[in-house]
Each structure stands twice: as C-alpha cells, then as structure tokens.
C-alpha cells in the first residue's frame, strides 16, 4: 500500500515543481508594476533637471555631418614583367655546317637579377663534308635535316649599364647568362639538350629590347655512327617587347 | 610718273596683303598648335587620372635611370611631393614626378609612400608572405619518367592558399620511346605558411608516345593517364621556391593491362 501513495506524492511534487517554475517564466500583470512606476518617476526627474540646466544657456545643436566619405579607388598598377619576341641568326650544327635559324622567345622577369626564359627555334642542317665530297651521297632526307629545338632556361642579369648614342640619347643595357634544359629534334629523333649561353640586351625605350645572344646546345648524337657529344652554337639577333 | 606711283602702291598693297595672309596663316597654325597642345594636356590629364598617385612621406624618394641596383640615381623627389606610378617591373616602379621627370623607384622605398587619403601604399613585395598567399606560380625543371629523361614546365593558379589548380607540360626522352604529356590536376599544400611544406596532388591528362624507330612495332599512340603524387615545396628567396615531387601514373592503354609508371622531378619555380 505504501508504493501507490508514494507514487501519488511524487507525481504531485513533480507537477508542482513544473507548474511553479513555469509560472515564473510568464509575465504577470501585477509583477514588476511598481518597478515600472519607479523608473518613470526617476526619468521624469532627470528630464526636469535637464530642462532646468538648459534654460540657463542656449540649447546645443547637434550637427549631423551630411558629407559622404570619399571612396578612393586605387587604379591597378600595370605589371610589365613578361617579354616576348623573336629574331633570326645562325646556328652551327656540328658536322652539318652553319645554317640560318629563326627563333622565338618568351621571358618572365622574376626579380631584377633573375628571369625564366623559353626559346623555340628552327633551322635546316646543311651537308657534311663527306656528303659534299662524295657526290650523290645523302645521309639524311630533307625532313630529317630539319633542326627544331626548344629550351627552358634560367637567366641571370649582370653588368647593367647604359649605352650613349650622341649627346642626348642614353639607353639602358645589360649582359645576361643563360642555362637550362630542352630538346632538339634532328635526324628523325628527339634528344635531350643542355643549353648554356650569354646575351647582351639594349633597351631603346621602356617596352622594347634588342638582344644579341649566343647559346650552345649540347646533346648526344649518333647520326654519324658512334655516339658523341655535339656542341651546336647559335647566334641570334632578336627584338622583344615587354608587357 | 603716275604709273610708277601706282606701281609702288600696288606693290605695297600686295606686300601688306601678303603679310596679312602670312600672319593669318601663322595665327591659324599657332591657334591649331595651341589647340593641339591644349588637347594634349587634356589627354595627358585624362591619362593621368587613371594612374595611381602616391605621396612621398620619407625625406626624399630616389629615382634611378633603370630598373636595377646598378643604374645610377639621377633625381630625388622631396617629401610631400607626389609621383604617378606608370608601371612596375620586378621590384621597381616607373614613376613620373609633377615636373614630368620619369625614373625608376625601388619597391622598398615605394612601400614608404602614402596614397591621397593618407593610407600607406600597400602592394605585394614578393617575400615569404607572398609565398604563402599568391595567385600564380610557374616553374621549369627536369626529372625521370618511367626511366626516360623528363623536361617539365608547369603553371598553377591558387584557388586558396592551400588549393591550387595546375597544368603541367612535359616531354620525355627515353631509350625506347619519346613523347609528350599534358596534365591538369589539383594540388593541396598542407602548410602554406611553412618554409618547407609537403603537398599532395591528383590529376589526369593525355600522354602521346612515339616509340623509337629501332624498336619493332613503331606505333605512335595517345592514351589517357591519371596520377596521384606527393611532394615538397621549399621557399628559397625573393619570389623563388624549389619544388620536388613524386607521381604514380596509371596509363589507360588500349592493351589488356594498364601501364603503371613512376615519375619524379625537381623544379625551380616562382610565384606572382
């Protein structure tokens, strides 16, 4: 008999607790009425005091600033680190004589000292002395004589200077060194090349540059029977523009 | 004698007329010249409005004749004077003074100038902070692709400091075959703020293989390839960093088996 009684008691207690706590959450009209009245009284008092104070001097006017803040748009700065151009020159293909070559180049100037450069070029190899002396002997077909190359290099600027033409004209100039890797397609085969070179650059104005450069493209060749290291010197006169 | 008088008169008259014509011509030409000058000034003004104007807040700003430390300083701009920024080349800014003198100012000095509203002139200096946060990177290098020599160039665009989309162009030259490949992928740099940071990469591409003529079945082929890889980036100095990675390639050949190839390479790269 004890347990039902206890259950009833517990349930009542629980309900009461819930109800009471719920009541406190509600906004009862009588609750806090006095507080509101008190607050109003104090506010009235404060206003009266303020009025009393203001009556002595002229009421201060608050000036609302009606000026919109100017928004300054900063124009974008033109970065001119890329250099693109092309030129013509000569390439001496080992054992195959010297031929004219046409090349294109693109550079990205990273700092004032270093730049990346990519070169692409094409030439047609001449005849070996064996072919010239031997009469009708042809070692390579016309298509195989095409000497196509590209290289990816890192360049270093040094010896910056100026070139003076007459009294009034001074142009910036500088030497640079180049080194990199690339590939050459010659005699029907692709070969890995190492390239080393140097160049001289003159800038008639801010966006134009005239280059005179020499590069050696070194690769293993087995065109004439045995495999050997060949040095292929290239001399190029080119013009580039900065953008 | 009358004819002579008339002749003189007429000659005088003619002279004056000629004088008037010459004067009129001169005036019209000078007016035209003035007009063109005014137009030029207006055009210049318009052009200048598009240029960024900065104010020297240090005692002076040095201008060099060229964009390099070797070029001599030929002009100084005094404090409070303004310069218009024409363009930037590496770490040098070509500027024009109020008097129209043009020269190159060092980026480090330009960092100490102020904009028209008094705020400092802020731009990317190309330092360690730039290594963490930048938009573009390019690099060149070499390595090994399944036993063949590899020549490699890549460019990447940063979606966030961690995530980059990159395109790689490669040529490989081996004893048995040569070829090219173009790949695009995503790189995740784990700790971009670290000087040496590892990264993971995933991508796909196309590989074109041309077996060398000495091998039997010299059949050129183009296959799709996919790769997963990991590597390390190391900040060197200024805008340069080294990048070395290893990629595991699967080439989806038209034969029964897929071909699996290993690639490793080292590149020197820069960011901007």
| Minimum-distance CB partner of B90 among A78, A109, A183 | A109
pLDDT at B41: 61
What's the confidence (pLDDT) of residue B190? 93
Instruction: Tell whether the torsion through CA atoms of B79, B80, B84 and B85 is positive or negative.
Output: positive
Reply yes or no on whether the pLDDT at B86 is more than 70. yes
Residue B193 and residue B156: Cα distance in Å, rounded? 18
Per-residue pLDDT for A172 more than 80?
yes
Rounded CA-CA distance A77/B50 in Å is 10
pLDDT recorded at residue B176 = 82
Where do we find the tokens 């006169």? A237
CA distance B227 to chain A (A): 24
pLDDT for B162-189, tens place per residue? 999 999 999 999 888 889 999 999 999 9
Q: How confident is the prediction for chain A on average, in pLDDT?
A: 82
Percent of chain B with pLDDT over 90: 47
Residues B57-76 have a mean pLDDT of 90
Mean pLDDT over A46-59 rounds to 60
Phi, psi (deg, nearest 5) at residue B44 = -60, -40
List all residues 6 or more positions away from A100 whose beta carbon is below 8 Å from its beta carbon: A88, A89, A90, A91, A123
Give the per-residue pLDDT at A1.
47
Q: What is the DSSP string of A183-203?
A: EEEETTEEEEEEEEEEEEEEE
Percent of chain B with pLDDT strictly greater than 70:
79
For A114-152, how does the pLDDT look when each residue is reduced to its tens digit (9 = 90+)? 999 999 999 998 888 888 887 778 788 888 889 999 999
User: Which pLDDT value is given to residue B5?
Assistant: 43
Tell me: pLDDT of B109 over 70: yes
Is residue B3 over pLDDT 80?
Answer: no
CB contact under 8 A, B239 and A111: yes
pLDDT (0 to 100) of residue B197: 93
Per-residue pLDDT for B237 more than 60? yes
| DSSP labels, A91-142 | EE-TTS-EEEEEEEEEEEE-SSSEEEEEEEEEEE----HHHHHHSS--SS-T
Contact predicate A117/A178, CB 8 Å: yes
* Nearest CA-CA distance, residue B71 and chain A, Å: 7
With residues binned 3-state (H G I as helix, E B as strand, rest as coil), the percentages for chain A, rounded to 5, are: 20, 50, 30
- Residue pointed to by tokens 């008092």: A45
In this predicted structure, what is the pLDDT of residue B4? 43
Measure A67 CA to nearest chain B CA, in Å: 16
Residue B226 has φ and ψ, to the nearest 5°, of -135, 150
Q: What is the model's pLDDT at position A18?
A: 66
pLDDT value at residue B164? 95
State how far the alpha carbon of B64 is from the alpha carbons of A112, B67, B106, B188, in Å.
Answer: 13, 7, 8, 42
Asked whether residue B23 carries a pLDDT value surpassing 50, the answer given is yes
Handedness of CA B139, B145, B151, B153 (dihedral sign): negative
Instruction: Write the ipTM.
Output: 0.73
d(CA B210, CA A37): 96
pLDDT category of residue B116 using cuts at 50, 70 and 90: confident
Band (pLDDT 50/70/90 cuts) for residue A190 is confident
Q: Which among B208, B206, B209 is positioned nearest to B217, based on CA atoms?
A: B209
Per-residue confidence (pLDDT) for residue B165, from 0 to 100: 96
- Residue A139 CA to residue A145 CA, distance in Å, equals 9
CB distance B212 to B205 below 8 Å: no
CA dist A185 and B264 (Å) reads 24
DSSP B99: T
Residue A109 above 70 pLDDT? yes
pLDDT digit string (tens) for A86-101? 999 999 988 888 999 9
∠ CA B169-A110-A158, nearest 5°, is 120
SS3 at position A227: coil
Site from B47, B54, B70 to mutate, A interface, most A CB atoms within 10 angstroms: B70
For residue range A197-240, list pLDDT tens digits in order.
999 999 998 899 999 999 999 998 888 878 889 999 999 999 99
DSSP-assigned states of every residue in B64-102: ESSSSTTSPEEEEEETT-EEEEEEEETTEEEEEETT--E
Q: What is the mean pLDDT of residues B124-148?
A: 89
Question: What gap in Å lies between CA A65 and CA B245, rounded to an integer?
Answer: 60
Residue B56: how many CA atoms within 13 Å on its side-chain side?
A: 22
Q: Which two tokens stand for residue B43?
A: 């055009």
Sign of the four-CA dihedral B24, B26, B32, B38: negative
DSSP state of A27: -
CA-nearest residue to B211 within chain A is A189
What own/partner pairs with CB < 8 Å and gap ≥ 24 does B180-183 have? B180/B207, B180/B208, B181/B205, B181/B206, B181/B207, B181/B208, B181/B225, B182/B206, B183/B225, B183/B227
Q: What pLDDT shows up at residue B2?
A: 45
**Which band of pLDDT confidence, cut at 50, 70 and 90, is reported for residue A10?**
confident
Confidence of residue B6 (pLDDT cuts 50, 70, 90): very low
Interface of A with B (CB under 8 A): 70, 72, 74-75, 77-81, 108-112, 114, 116, 118, 152-154, 157, 159-162, 170, 172, 174, 180-183, 188-192, 203, 206, 242
Nearest to B177 by CA among B205, B149, B196, B140: B149
A39, pLDDT greater than 60? no
Please check whether residue A126 is in contact with residue A147, taking contact to mean a CB–CB distance below 8 angstroms.
Answer: no
Residue in the block written with tokens 């008097």: B99
- As given in the structure block, the two tokens for residue A108 are 């990205």
Task: Give, in degrees to the nearest 5, the angle at Cα A15 between A12 and A16.
Answer: 85
How far does A236 lie from chain B, in Å, by closest CA? 23
Pair of tokens at residue A27: 């906004």
Q: Tell me the CA distances in angstroms from B179 to A124, B150, B203, one per residue in order.
A: 22, 10, 19
pLDDT score, position B182:
96
pLDDT band at B9 (very low <50, low <70, confident <90, very high): very low
Query: Contact A182/A193 with Cβ under 8 angstroms?
Result: yes
Residue B211 pLDDT class (50, 70, 90 cuts): confident
| pLDDT score at A56 | 59
Strand (E) or helix (H) holding B186: strand B177-189
Strand-pairing partners, residue A45, are none
Q: Which two tokens stand for residue B234?
A: 């190391």
């Amino acid at each position: 008999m004890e347990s039902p009684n206890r259950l009833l008691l517990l349930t009542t207690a629980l309900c009461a607790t819930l109800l009471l706590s719920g009541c406190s959450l509600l906004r009862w009209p009588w609750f806090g009425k006095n507080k509101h009245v008190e607050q109003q009284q104090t506010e009235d008092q404060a206003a009266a005091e303020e009025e009393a104070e203001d009556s002595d001097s002229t009421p201060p006017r608050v000036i609302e600033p009606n000026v919109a803040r100017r928004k300054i748009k900063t124009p974008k700065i033109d970065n001119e680190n890329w250099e693109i151009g092309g030129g013509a020159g000569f390439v001496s293909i080992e054992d195959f004589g010297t031929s004219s070559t046409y090349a294109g180049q693109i550079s990205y100037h990273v700092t004032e000292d270093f730049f990346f450069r990519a070169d692409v070029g094409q030439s047609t190899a001449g005849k070996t002395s064996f072919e010239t002396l031997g009469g009708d002997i042809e070692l390579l077909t016309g298509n195989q004589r095409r000497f196509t190359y590209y290289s990816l290099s890192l360049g270093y600027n040094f010896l910056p200077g100026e070139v003076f033409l007459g009294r009034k004209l001074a142009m910036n100039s500088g030497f640079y060194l180049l080194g990199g890797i690339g590939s050459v397609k010659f005699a029907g085969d692709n070969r890995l090349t190492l390239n080393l070179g140097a160049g001289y650059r003159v800038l008639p104005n801010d966006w134009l540059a005239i280059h005179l450069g020499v590069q050696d493209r070194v690769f293993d060749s087995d065109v004439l029977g045995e495999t050997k290291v060949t040095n292929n010197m290239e001399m190029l006169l080119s013009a580039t523009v900065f953008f | 004698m009358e004819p002579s008088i008339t002749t003189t008169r007429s000659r005088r008259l003619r002279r004056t007329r000629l004088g008037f014509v010459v004067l009129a011509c001169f005036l019209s030409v000078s007016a035209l010249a003035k007009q063109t000058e005014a137009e030029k000034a207006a055009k210049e003004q318009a052009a200048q409005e598009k240029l960024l104007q900065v104010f020297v807040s240090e005692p002076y700003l040095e201008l060099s004749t060229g964009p390099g430390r070797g070029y001599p300083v030929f002009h100084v701009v005094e404090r409070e004077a303004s310069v218009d920024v024409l363009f930037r080349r590496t770490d040098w800014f070509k500027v024009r003074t109020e008097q129209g003198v043009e020269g190159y100012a060092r980026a480090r000095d330009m960092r100490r100038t102020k904009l028209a509203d008094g705020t400092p002139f802020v731009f990317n200096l190309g330092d360690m902070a730039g290594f963490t946060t930048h938009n573009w990177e390019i690099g060149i290098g070499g390595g090994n692709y399944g036993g063949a020599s590899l020549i490699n160039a890549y460019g990447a665009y940063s979606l966030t400091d961690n995530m980059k989309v990159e395109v790689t162009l490669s040529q490989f030259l081996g004893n048995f075959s040569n070829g090219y490949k173009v790949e695009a992928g995503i790189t995740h740099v784990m700790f971009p703020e670290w000087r040496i940071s590892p990264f993971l990469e995933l991508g796909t591409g196309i590989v074109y293989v041309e077996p060398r003529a000495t091998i039997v079945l010299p059949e050129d082929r183009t296959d799709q390839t996919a790769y997963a890889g990991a590597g390390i980036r190391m900040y060197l100095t200024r805008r340069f960093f080294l990048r070395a990675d290893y990629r595991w390639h699967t080439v989806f050949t038209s034969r029964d088996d897929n071909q699996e190839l290993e690639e490793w390479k080292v590149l020197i790269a820069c960011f901007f």
